[in-house]
Structure 1
Amino acid sequence: MKFDMDYIAHNNALTETNPYFKLFLTIILLVVTLALDNLYFDVIVFIIMSIVILAIAKIAFKSYLKFLSIPMAFLIITCIFLIFFFGSGEVIYDTKILGIVVTKNSLHYGVYTFMRVMGCLPCLGFLALTTPIAKILHCLATLKVPKIIIEIGLLMYNSIFIFLNEIDTMQKAQQTRLGYHSYTTSFKSLGGLASTIFLRSLDKSETLQHSLDSRGYDGELPVYEPKNRSN
């Protein structure tokens, strides 16, 4: 499942909208969502920002689901652990397996964590899916964010997509060799994918460093600066 977020960010109805407005709107919504302990507000933010992404930015529904799928997987796993292994107080459900129980507090932590993160995801999606990374970094540079943070963000952004591209390529190679036609071969293929992708990622990072060095990298990456339209 290949997901080209950079292409989507450059090709949507809100690409040319003021990036500062989108950045500040995202930050404000994130701060308010995290500060408030209100499930209704989380749901309202999720619905409104999803409508903005789908109806106003005109981003495909499948692309939006792909954006949500990876963090959602980690979120569900985290909330399950919160519900079954954390918290204290009144027991509301006993699994009768190794003393694992669900308490009133743990259920509260799990549900509220899930809803709070769900409220934040479309806010981040609004910025990431409608604004090219170059414009976001330019905004941060204009706001005097330390250059080291901007450079780390740029390198991480680049590395994530290199990583995802390698996974997509290796999965397609395994599928052509019937690596997923049964449960046994699927587990073997996933194991091989996990062990190989780490080495491939190290190799790609070394290639990236050589590419930077060959282009005169002196420890500082140039940041995109849009042309002044008044000139």
Structure 2
Amino acid sequence: MKFDIDYIAHNNKLTEANPYFKLFLTIILLIATLALDNLYFDIFIFILMSIVILAIAKINYKSYLKFLTIPLAFLIITCLFLIFFFGKGDVIYETGIFGIVVTRNSWHYGLYTFFRVIGCLPSLGFLALTTPIAKIFHCLETMKVPKILIEIGLLMYNTIFIFLNEIDTMQKAQETRLGYHSYWSSLRSLGALISTIFLRSLDKSETLQHALDSRGYTGELPVYIPPKKEE
């Protein structure tokens, strides 16, 4: 199943809920999680917001896990790097590899960083998976966020999903040609994928600029304004 965050945001039980409430709730939870720096509070927020996403918004658990997978992978790598290469103090574990050790300070640093991010992820997921991006940008515009930041966010959002679709298409093409049947062929396919994506990104950026120019782009992108409900 291909992960489509835009489809999920438009098809859940909280789609029509007040976007301002969801935006402010997310901001408050993020600030509280980062400011308190409390491991138990981080775990509580993770469990609470996961329950809201799965039980109240009725989002498929597989989609939720896919949303968490990529940031979790980067988080684990980052925290391992912090644990093994940062911090001073008493040594609690020696790896025996090039003098790399784990200190008490680095262990706490990596552990608290991990749970702090874990606490933030479902809060961001709550906003991203239950609110269409057009409504989020509309809320930001009414809150007088600089238009340049909104436009950059809109272009980045659009471009990211174009590239994800390109990656998915190319990976499937490589798999049909047995591009991943062995370790070395996987490395060659991955290298080809990365180089091709770089070239495609240049081509897509030029195509996007031509598309904007052909639609009368003058340096400002219009933001979706939801229609007012008739009373």
Same structural fold, with TM-score higher than 0.5 when normalized by the shorter chain: yes
Aligned to 1:55: 55
Aligned to 2:195: 195
Q: CA deviation at 1:199?
A: 0.9
Q: CA deviation at 1:230?
A: 3.6
Aligned to 1:9: 9
Does the CA-based 8 Å contact 1:83-1:107 persist in structure 2? Answer: yes
Aligned to 2:148: 148
Aligned to 1:71: 71
> Please, which runs of 5 or more residues in structure 2 have no aligned partner?
none
Counterpart residue identity of residue 11, structure 1: N
Counterpart residue identity of residue 100, structure 1: I
Aligned to 1:116: 116
Counterpart residue identity of residue 165, structure 1: N
Cα displacement string for residues 176-195 of structure 1 (whole angstroms, at most 9, x for unaligned residues)? 10111111111111111111
Aligned to 2:95: 95
Counterpart residue identity of residue 169, structure 2: T
Does the CA-based 8 Å contact 1:26-1:127 persist in structure 2? Answer: yes
Distance across 2 between alignment mates of 1:202 and 1:11: 33
TM-score (norm 2): 0.98
- SS state at 1:30 partner: helix
1:98-177 → structure 2 map (5 Å cutoff): 98-177=98-177
Aligned to 1:86: 86
Please list every run of at least 4 consecutive aligned residues from structure 1 whose deviation after the TM superposition is greater than 6 angstroms: none
Q: Aligned residues: percent identity?
A: 81
Distance across 2 between alignment mates of 1:131 and 1:66: 17
Paired residues, what number? 231
Aligned to 2:29: 29
Q: CA deviation at 1:202?
A: 1.3
Distance across 2 between alignment mates of 1:156 and 1:37: 30
RMSD over aligned Cα atoms: 0.9
Distance across 1 between alignment mates of 2:67 and 2:157: 14
Counterpart residue identity of residue 10, structure 1: H
Counterpart residue identity of residue 22, structure 2: K
Q: CA deviation at 1:3?
A: 1.4
- SS state at 1:97 partner: coil
Does the CA-based 8 Å contact 1:33-1:42 persist in structure 2? Answer: yes
Distance across 2 between alignment mates of 1:166 and 1:111: 36
Distance across 2 between alignment mates of 1:164 and 1:197: 10
Counterpart residue identity of residue 110, structure 2: G
Distance across 2 between alignment mates of 1:225 and 1:123: 25
Distance across 2 between alignment mates of 1:2 and 1:160: 15
Q: CA deviation at 1:115?
A: 0.2
Does the CA-based 8 Å contact 1:2-1:165 persist in structure 2? Answer: no
Distance across 1 between alignment mates of 2:97 and 2:158: 44
Cα displacement string for residues 52-104 of structure 1 (whole angstroms, at most 9, x for unaligned residues)? 00010000011001100111111011001000000001000111111111000
Does the CA-based 8 Å contact 1:89-1:105 persist in structure 2? Answer: yes
Does the CA-based 8 Å contact 1:12-1:58 persist in structure 2? Answer: yes
Aligned to 1:186: 186
Distance across 1 between alignment mates of 2:124 and 2:140: 15
Cα displacement string for residues 190-213 of structure 1 (whole angstroms, at most 9, x for unaligned residues)? 111111111111111111111000
> Please, which runs of 5 or more residues in structure 1 have no aligned partner?
none
